[in-house]
Amino acid sequence: MLKQLNIQNVGPAQAMELQFGDRLNLLTGDNGLGKSFLLDIAWWALTRSWPAEVNNKLSTGMTAKPHGNERQRSGIEFSFLSNDEPVKGDYHFDHTSWYWESEHYVQFPGIVIYAQADGSMAIWDQVRNIYRHPNAMWRGVDPHNRPPAYVFSPDEIWNGLDDNTGKPLCNGLIADWAGWQKERGSTIKAFEEILAILSPSKDEEVKIGDLTRIRLTDVRDIPTLKMPYGQEVPIMHASSGIRRILSLCYLLVWVWQEHAQACKLLGTPKATQLVFLIDEVEAHLHPKWQRSILRSLFSMAKEIGRWLPDSQVQFIVSTHSPLILASMEPLFDPDRDKWFDIDLIPGNHHNPLVQLTDQPFTRRGDASNWLTSKAFDLKSGGSLEAEQVLEEASIRMNEGLIDADQVRAIEQKLRSVLGDTDPFWIRWRYILEKKGLQP
């Protein structure tokens, strides 16, 4: 597990400091304030690779570049739960890449799964991948010629991933799923179970259908999904939300299966630590599914515990969704979970600064209360127009000098932006009565 991360002079803020929770870490903040950036840095700390450097089909996850061109001190410092000693990463301007200062070769002892916002995914497995950064500290030779990580574009998750010599690294979801289904062994069962766990609800369970063919010229057996409306739909026709969840389930089962094979081959024990980095965890999910996704991810972690007792699963998750935060209210455990918020604060010379803070998680009730919390900083959960008219109404009321004509004019404006059942009307009537005015 990632325990701590300190970043200096890299990314949107001058410094960011995070002490991670063992279970869930939520990241919130406006567009462009560094949520995805932080996930890239966490991935680098855990794997010492940058997704876009491993697979040039990716348009995100590039090498972090320090501020400006001056060779000012910049750094990424991190530690793992298994290794308290912090590792310091330094940027080497001549090589435009990162090095880490460490006497030892500090490797994360586990598996990392990174789901990016655009549907790309990256996997790192302590046994099958290796840090292959041109670091002067490590001069070992790897006889297995391991790849630095498995980094998939959305298409490669579906159709397979090759190394740069054309050798297959992964057959892809279509071929593997069809193969597992034909075997009728434990792999398809595990996949089915994970799919059921990550489904939006019991009555909307994502269920596996029979294999099918879709084109005369395509000899592949194509997996299908049983839809609630009775049809069996080939997976390439699946919706965006289902695709993301299918990809996550597939890569989890795939990495686990391949990890077990590799451990057997090398005679090494299996990993006990898994880290999931998920950017925009709500991406493509309907509000109903957004409400259950974190709970489902925790159940998935329990399921992983069934495959491997004593395993620890950590999530670092970014979100733009008030429903995700509201859904955590009954689950949040301050001993294991953390919430980090990134904000713009006033800075010197009229330039605002980006600041990351560790926020206490307090219950606020429903999603609309979360919209007006530190997580999203909105004044209200309604339309901008309604917000402006309500603000204007409240200023005029506070001024006190208001006659019946003005009241009517404000009320007309309010009627054009508020619904008949808006709770504001109760307040409006109350205020008018108190002031002795009749609407």
Ligand X SMILES: Nc1ncnc2c1ncn2[C@@H]1O[C@H](COP(=O)(O)OP(=O)(O)OP(=O)(O)O)[C@@H](O)[C@H]1O
- The site for ligand X (CB under 6 A) is made up of 10-12, 29, 31-37, 62, 64-65
Polymer length in residues for the chain: 439
Q: Mark 168-197 with x for binding to Mg ion (rule: CB under 5 A) and - for no binding.
A: ------------------------------
Question: What are all long-range contacts of 199-205, with beta carbons under 8 Å and residues at least 24 apart?
Answer: 199/245, 199/296, 200/285, 200/286, 200/288, 200/289, 200/292, 201/288, 201/292, 203/228, 204/228, 204/288
Question: Cβ 292 to Mg ion, closest distance in Å?
Answer: 23
DSSP summary character for residue 203: G
CB under 5 to 8 A by kind: which of Mg ion, ligand X, none does 75 bind? none
Question: Cβ 320 to Mg ion, closest distance in Å?
Answer: 9
Phi and psi based region of residue 79 (left: phi greater than 0; alpha: psi -120 to 50; beta: remaining):
beta
Question: Cβ 99 to ligand X, closest distance in Å?
Answer: 16
Q: Which is nearer to ligand X, 10 or 174 (CB)?
A: 10
CB under 5 to 8 A by kind: which of ligand X, Mg ion, none does 110 bind? none
Q: Which is nearer to ligand X, 12 or 110 (CB)?
A: 12
Q: Which is nearer to Mg ion, 111 or 354 (CB)?
A: 354
Question: Cβ 66 to ligand X, closest distance in Å?
Answer: 7
Sequence-ordered alpha helix ranges (H) in 308-383? 322-327, 367-371
What tokens does 124 get?
Answer: 């790192």
Question: Cβ 36 to ligand X, closest distance in Å?
Answer: 3
Specify the DSSP element, H or E, that contains 390: helix 384-399
Q: Which is nearer to Mg ion, 29 or 172 (CB)?
A: 29
CB under 5 to 8 A by kind: which of Mg ion, ligand X, none does 32 bind? ligand X
Could you give the dihedral angle defined by the CA atoms of residues 173, 253, 110 and 59, in that order, rounded to the nearest 10 degrees?
Answer: 20
CB under 5 to 8 A by kind: which of ligand X, Mg ion, none does 398 bind? none
Which of 36, 18, 14 lies closest to 354, judged by CA? Answer: 14
CB under 5 to 8 A by kind: which of ligand X, Mg ion, none does 12 bind? ligand X
CB under 5 to 8 A by kind: which of ligand X, Mg ion, none does 64 bind? ligand X
- Cα separation of 206 and 193, whole Å? 10
Question: Cβ 318 to ligand X, closest distance in Å?
Answer: 6
Question: Cβ 68 to ligand X, closest distance in Å?
Answer: 11
Question: Cβ 350 to Mg ion, closest distance in Å?
Answer: 26
Q: Which is nearer to ligand X, 29 or 382 (CB)?
A: 29
Q: Which is nearer to ligand X, 33 or 45 (CB)?
A: 33
What tokens does 97 get?
Answer: 């890449």
Q: Mark 12-51 with x for binding to Mg ion (rule: CB under 5 A) and - for no binding.
A: -----------------------xx---------------
Which of 109, 89, 94, 84 lies closest to 40, judged by CA? Answer: 89
What is each CA distance from 124 to 14, 114, 164, in whole angstroms? 29, 9, 17
Alpha-carbon Rg for the chain, nearest whole angstrom, is 26
Q: Which is nearer to ligand X, 35 or 48 (CB)?
A: 35
Q: Which is nearer to ligand X, 56 or 231 (CB)?
A: 56
Neighbour-count burial for 23-40, b at 16+ CB within 10 Å, e otherwise? bbbbbbbeeebbbbbbbb
Identity of residue 398: N
Residue whose C-beta lies closest to Mg ion: 36
Q: What are φ and ψ of residue 26, in 5° steps? A: -100, 135
Residues that bind Mg ion (rule: CB under 5 A) add up to a total of: 2
Question: Cβ 46 to ligand X, closest distance in Å?
Answer: 16
- Cα separation of 243 and 238, whole Å? 6
Q: Which is nearer to ligand X, 31 or 421 (CB)?
A: 31
CB under 5 to 8 A by kind: which of ligand X, Mg ion, none does 31 bind? ligand X
- Cα separation of 52 and 40, whole Å? 10
- Which residues contribute to the site for Mg ion (CB under 5 A)? 35-36
